[in-house]
Amino acid sequence: MRPHSILGRGWRWLAAALPLLASMTILQPATAQATAEPVALEQFFQHPAVLDAKLSPSGRQIALTTAAGGKRVSLFVIELGGTLRPMRTATFSNVDVTRFEWVSDERLVFSVVDLQAGGGEDQRMAPGLYSVAPNGQELRTLVRRIGTHFSEGSRDRSLEWNHILLAVPRVQTDELVDHVVIGAMKYDSHDLTHIVPMWLNVRSGRTRPMEIKGAPDGARHWLFDSQGNARATVTRKGGREFFHWRSTADRDWRLLSEHDRMHPPFELHSVDAKGTLYLTYNTGAGQYATLSTYDFSAGKPDARPLVSTPGFDFSGTLLLDHSGMTALGVRLETDTEQTLWFDAAMKRFQAEVDERLPGRINRVQCRRCGAEDMVALVNSFSDRDPGSLWLYQAATRQWQPVSQVLDGLEPQRMASVDFQRIRARDGRDLPVWITLPPSVKPGTKPERPLPTVVMVHGGPWVRGGHWRWSAMEQFLASRGYLVISPEFRGSTGYGWAHYQAGWKQWGQAMQDDVADALKWAQAQGLADRRACIAGASYGGYATLMGLVRDPELYRCGIAWVGVADLKLLVQGSGWIHDDIGKDTRRYGLPVTVGDPEKDAEMIQANSPVEQAARIKAPLLLAYGAADVRVPLAHGERLRSALKAAGQTPEWVVYPDEGHGWRQVSTQVDFARRVEQFLDRHLKAGAP
């Protein structure tokens, strides 16, 4: 890395480059000229103006990452008081600052990634770890990246690339001032076997052992309290998983649970300073995850939930005070994100913010929360607006705009997002996200059915949709398409029963859910018969199998970084490198996808490579040459099989990209190909 000068006129251009909003009214009327033509493609796929922003522990400073005014994402610190004057804290000519954390008001730590390189960079480089003072002085390399070179002094003190940041204590002790918790990752034949935590002084770069005597061997995951003490571990041996715990009063670690790794009785969540262990467990007919605590006297989770979200798994974080002793509230997500404050003063403040910024999600980050001198940073966003940052200082009751998250987007020209729950053909509850073109007034139906893109999320064991702005869906909607995004069985976030119903259902019931979502939209008068199926990773697989199983539903398909050879996925190959570990192939995929021997017939019947002759619709395929999650071999084998069947797909390979597109130039190029492909096959008059 080659650091730029940290002094000079940086604050001047940043103050101009971060677009300060004139008032609390964010949405402005569109001009007639602005609505005459669709929003430029490049607007949707730009890097954010602000990637992240965090208040310092005292609340007297804001740190943020931005590329405003430069070619690289840099770390800036703003001293609060009068005028918001940013200081350039860390910037480099060949990498971008990504994750960062405040250690204290006098020190930050951060990692870097080359965002201008393709995603394949992640396989060649590690993010490293660095520390710096807010004014940009005392920059130190703590963990070096693979292949980087530093001065001899830095090289002697910095750690190897395989060390990662695990925790930043909320409360520094006299003995451990300026310390964070890092972990040394240990591998066996490219498989992570365990992580060894230790203390790291961010000023000197020196490490010291952590007091974890007697901890179980092979811990892959650790939970720490507010002072950085290790409290819980997750270990695995064969197909079994173990949860262990040690409180401040215990000398030894106690076993909380031993279970089949695919059927945990609960999941560890977090630990507060009082030594309370928070966890989630499943309850009710849908087996929805609820937040609770562990009852150590009874030796099991407390049956009384702290937070339950019927119809959704609990997904969120506890909002603790600075000491970590008191839970002020909880931030969670159901159909939208929301914050439930337990603290009365913060509940009143949230209501005030929501009144000032109605119809939006207003995520509050605060210091001295609820006090007369509280400082709060508010990220206000919606389905049509990527967001804006606001600063509030209770002492003066003053609101100050900080920045928009994305430059130049007009929220009133963006699409609205709706959430529905429908019934699949077998009666299963099926959540579906709908993105309506900007021409359709939010909360209404289009005047006539629309050409449609069925967007299938990747994973597949993730939640796909959220009520927020999303670049690809917004881009497609801006071109007049209805976008349907089903949360097919196998998706997480909607109960264990919904997740488990997708086991061994690739290309089968999971695929039926995707088709049922489109049929429902057509029956509702939302979608017409002009439909294309699209998606990445598992979504790419579902695209291919949609064309195989339901050719009457889709005029075309767009699959990128998609699984095409199901046998290669579950079995692997000594000739083709991927990042799927041996344990996953031995204990995970046989349960969730299929056993390569016992389910060989099922795997073949639902592998796009084996069923390529049944694909008749036009198909756009895109892969990253550096992808190690779904290697290029998947695409090459499918392309050959399609050619042999007389079907030549449109084909593009991005040389430096991995499992997804990181470079803006790649995102723009691919989106343009998608737009042109859909124009040919879905627009009026298309065959």
Q: How many CA atoms lie within 13 A of 474 on its CB side?
A: 26
Spatial separation of the C-alpha atoms in residues 379 and 389, rounded to whole Å:
5
With a pLDDT cut of 90, the percent of the chain lying above it is 81
**Domain end: 161, 182, 208, which one?**
161
Q: Is there a domain that residue 264 lies in? A: no
With a pLDDT cut of 70, the percent of the chain lying above it is 92
| Pair 498, 421: CB distance under 8 Å | no
Give the distance from CA 625 to its chain's centroid: 23
Q: Which of 487, 459, 499 is nearest to 264 (CA)?
A: 499
Spatial separation of the C-alpha atoms in residues 403 and 14, rounded to whole Å:
10
What is residue 525's predicted lDDT score, i.e. its pLDDT? 96
Burial of 120 (0-12, 13-18, 19+ CB in 10 A): buried
Q: Is there a domain that residue 402 lies in? A: no
* 174 confidence band (pLDDT: 50, 70, 90): confident
What is residue 401's predicted lDDT score, i.e. its pLDDT? 93
Q: Is there a domain that residue 396 lies in? A: no
Q: Is the peptide bond before 460 cis (omega within 30 degrees of 0)?
A: yes
Q: What is the pTM of this model?
A: 0.92
Spatial separation of the C-alpha atoms in residues 136 and 5, rounded to whole Å:
9
What is residue 686's predicted lDDT score, i.e. its pLDDT? 64
Torsion of CA 56, 62, 63, 65, to 10 degrees: 150
**Domain end: 161, 190, 207, which one?**
161
- For 272-292, the pLDDT digits (tens) are 999 999 999 999 999 999 999
pLDDT at 654 over 60: yes
Q: Is there a domain that residue 259 lies in? A: no
pLDDT at 62 over 90: yes
Q: Is there a domain that residue 336 lies in? A: no
Q: Is there a domain that residue 228 lies in? A: no
Residue 36, token pair as written in the block:
């005459």
User: Residue type at 513?
Assistant: D
Residue 638, token pair as written in the block:
């499918």
Return left, alpha or beta for 537; rule: phi > 0 is left, psi -120 to 50 is alpha, else beta. Answer: left
DSSP state of 307: B
- The CA–CA distances, whole Å, from 57 to 61, 102, 327 equal 8, 7, 17
Please state the rounded mean pLDDT for residues 589-609: 98
Return left, alpha or beta for 391; rule: phi > 0 is left, psi -120 to 50 is alpha, else beta. Answer: beta
Angle at 376 between CA 75 and CA 229, to 5 degrees: 70
Please state the rounded mean pLDDT for residues 349-366: 97
Q: Is there a domain that residue 258 lies in? A: no
* 37 confidence band (pLDDT: 50, 70, 90): confident
Residue 117 is part of which domain span? 1-19+36-161
3-state secondary structure of 646: coil
**Domain end: 106, 130, 161, which one?**
161
**Domains in the chain: how many in total?**
2
What is residue 149's predicted lDDT score, i.e. its pLDDT? 52
Query: What mean pLDDT, rounded, does the chain reach?
Result: 90
Q: Is there a domain that residue 88 lies in? A: yes
Residue 440, token pair as written in the block:
């359709």
Number of neighbouring beta carbons within 10 Å of residue 173: 11
- For 488-522, the pLDDT digits (tens) are 999 999 999 999 999 999 999 999 999 999 999 99
Element (H, E) at 486: strand 482-486
- For 310-319, the pLDDT digits (tens) are 999 999 999 9
| Pair 280, 242: CB distance under 8 Å | no
Span between the terminal Cα atoms of the chain, in Å: 53
| Pair 50, 65: CB distance under 8 Å | yes
pLDDT at 22 over 50: no
Spatial separation of the C-alpha atoms in residues 436 and 434, rounded to whole Å:
6
Question: 234 pairs with which residues across the strands?
Answer: 221, 243
Angle at 162 between CA 159 and CA 167, to 5 degrees: 85
- For 405-440, the pLDDT digits (tens) are 998 899 999 999 999 999 999 999 999 999 999 999
